[in-house]
């Protein structure tokens, strides 16, 4: 990944020189801390959205004394399984599906962060990452990327054990040790033909999820739906909305659950489709960076926004990676 991002970093430096600020990106989404470029509270953005398009969510603290007080709320308002994830997180780290209160407590005891979101588990079959851009001057508003997520799973052949099937799966093999612990009761069992086993319920690259280019789904009607979602968040101009829905027809009727709102740290993740050529991936990334620059400049000129200091960003990067 570091090798892939060298040209991206160089292009970012060119835009920084053009903007006369290496932190120009911090004025893109005024509603987010550093425009969503570094740690920002997910809960801050949930509060703007209508309850009907949100999973039921509460903020919990891993401090055991505080957590004891929250147990009653959890038992009264939620049913397991649940999703627990950091309120300020990056790339799916410390995100887990928990099946009981004891599972949740065990997770929190070992967690490196203090505040987490506890969220109902949405079982809708379709998860999409939809990148949306609008300019402050109102001249441009569009969906620029749609990614369909295929969760890590395997299918039985009626002959092989689960261990053998996972050993032959290029996406699963790197998670073999963790999956062995998780699926120990089935590990040495032969899986019936065509039976599919979901190995990982979290839709993230580092969990073996396959990202599929779904840009063919872009339409005026879908743009109107996502524009309606984003309209609830003041001064949001650039980022990716991760959501689940029952079907595309349901999504077009605003039947959806927003899992996350991501800012300038997000990418048009369709580029990670294995069919995408690397030159096309860079072309799409650079175009999005150009739009980020354009929005930043408009916000600086029309709203008088000031960029964060480079020193401030460095301090926060150090804090982020010292966890």
- Using one digit for the tens of pLDDT, what is the confidence trace for 18-57? 999 999 999 999 999 899 888 788 888 888 999 999 999 9
Question: Where is average pLDDT lowest: 4-8, 93-97, 193-197, 260-264?
Answer: 93-97
Q: How far, in whole angstroms, is CA 156 from its chain's centroid?
A: 30
Per-residue pLDDT averaged across 143-170, rounded? 95
pLDDT higher than 70, residue 72: no
pLDDT cut 90: percent of the chain above it: 68
Number of Cβ within 10 Å of residue 19's Cβ equals 17
CA atoms of 310 and 200, how far apart (whole Å) = 38
Sheet holding 57-61, edge to edge: 57-61, 115-120, 82-86, 96-98
Nearest Cα to Cα of residue 218 among 134, 145, 291:
145
Place 66 in a pLDDT band, splitting at 50, 70 and 90: low
Per-residue pLDDT averaged across 97-102, rounded? 88
pLDDT higher than 90, residue 272: yes
All structural domains of the chain, each given as residue ranges with its CATH number in brackets, are: 15-54+123-150+210-323 (3.30.470), 56-121 (3.30.1490.20), 153-199 (no CATH)
pLDDT higher than 70, residue 91: no
pLDDT tens figures, 217-265: 999 999 999 999 999 999 999 999 999 999 999 999 999 999 999 999 9
Number of Cα atoms under 13 Å in the Cβ half of residue 128 = 22
pLDDT higher than 90, residue 321: no
Number of Cα atoms under 13 Å in the Cβ half of residue 31 = 21
Rg, Å, the chain Cα set: 21
Q: How much is the mean pLDDT over the chain?
A: 91
Please provide the DSSP assignment of 164-222 as one string: HHHHT-TTTGGGHHHHHHHTTTTTTSBPPTT-EEE---S--GGGTPEEEE-GGG--HHH
Per-residue pLDDT averaged across 55-70, rounded? 74
Question: Where is average pLDDT lowest: 19-23, 202-206, 270-274?
Answer: 202-206
Residues 6+ apart with CB under 8 A from 316: 34, 38, 39
Place 2 in a pLDDT band, splitting at 50, 70 and 90: confident
Question: Where is average pLDDT lowest: 45-54, 92-101, 288-297?
Answer: 92-101
Place 115 in a pLDDT band, splitting at 50, 70 and 90: confident
Positive or negative torsion for Cα 36, 108, 60, 65:
negative
Place 89 in a pLDDT band, splitting at 50, 70 and 90: low
pLDDT higher than 60, residue 323: no
Q: Token pair of 133, please?
A: 């851009």
């Amino acid at each position: 990944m570091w090798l892939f991002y060298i040209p991206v970093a160089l292009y970012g430096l060119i835009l920084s020189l053009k903007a006369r600020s290496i932190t120009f990106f911090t004025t893109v989404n005024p509603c987010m801390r550093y425009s969503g470029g570094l740690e920002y509270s997910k809960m801050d953005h949930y509060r703007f959205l209508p309850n009907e398009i949100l999973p039921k969510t509460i903020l919990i603290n891993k401090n055991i004394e505080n957590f004891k007080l929250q147990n009653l709320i959890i038992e009264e308002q939620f049913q397991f399984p649940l999703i627990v994830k950091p309120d300020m997180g990056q790339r799916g780290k410390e995100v887990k599906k928990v099946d009981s209160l004891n599972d949740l407590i065990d997770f929190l005891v070992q967690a490196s962060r203090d505040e987490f979101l506890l969220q109902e588990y949405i079982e809708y079959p379709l998860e999409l990452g939809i990148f949306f851009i609008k300019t402050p001057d109102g001249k441009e508003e569009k969906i620029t990327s749609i990614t369909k997520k295929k969760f890590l799973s395997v299918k039985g052949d009626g002959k092989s054990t689960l261990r053998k099937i996972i050993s032959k799966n290029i996406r699963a093999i790197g998670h073999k040790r963790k999956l062995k612990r998780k699926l120990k009761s089935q590990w040495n069992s032969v899986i019936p033909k065509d039976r599919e086993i979901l190995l990982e319920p979290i839709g993230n690259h580092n969990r073996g999820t396959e990202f599929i280019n779904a840009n063919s789904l872009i339409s005026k009607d879908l743009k109107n739906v996502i524009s309606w979602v984003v309209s609830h968040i003041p001064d949001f101009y650039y980022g990716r909305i991760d959501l689940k829905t029952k079907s595309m027809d349901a999504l077009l009727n605003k039947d959806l659950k927003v899992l996350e709102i991501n800012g300038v740290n997000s990418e048009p993740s369709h580029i990670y489709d294995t069919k995408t050529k690397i030159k096309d991936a860079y072309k799409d990334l650079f175009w999005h960076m150009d739009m980020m620059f354009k929005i930043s400049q408009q916000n600086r000129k029309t709203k008088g926004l000031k960029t964060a200091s480079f020193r401030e960003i460095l301090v926060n990067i150090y804090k982020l990676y010292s966890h």
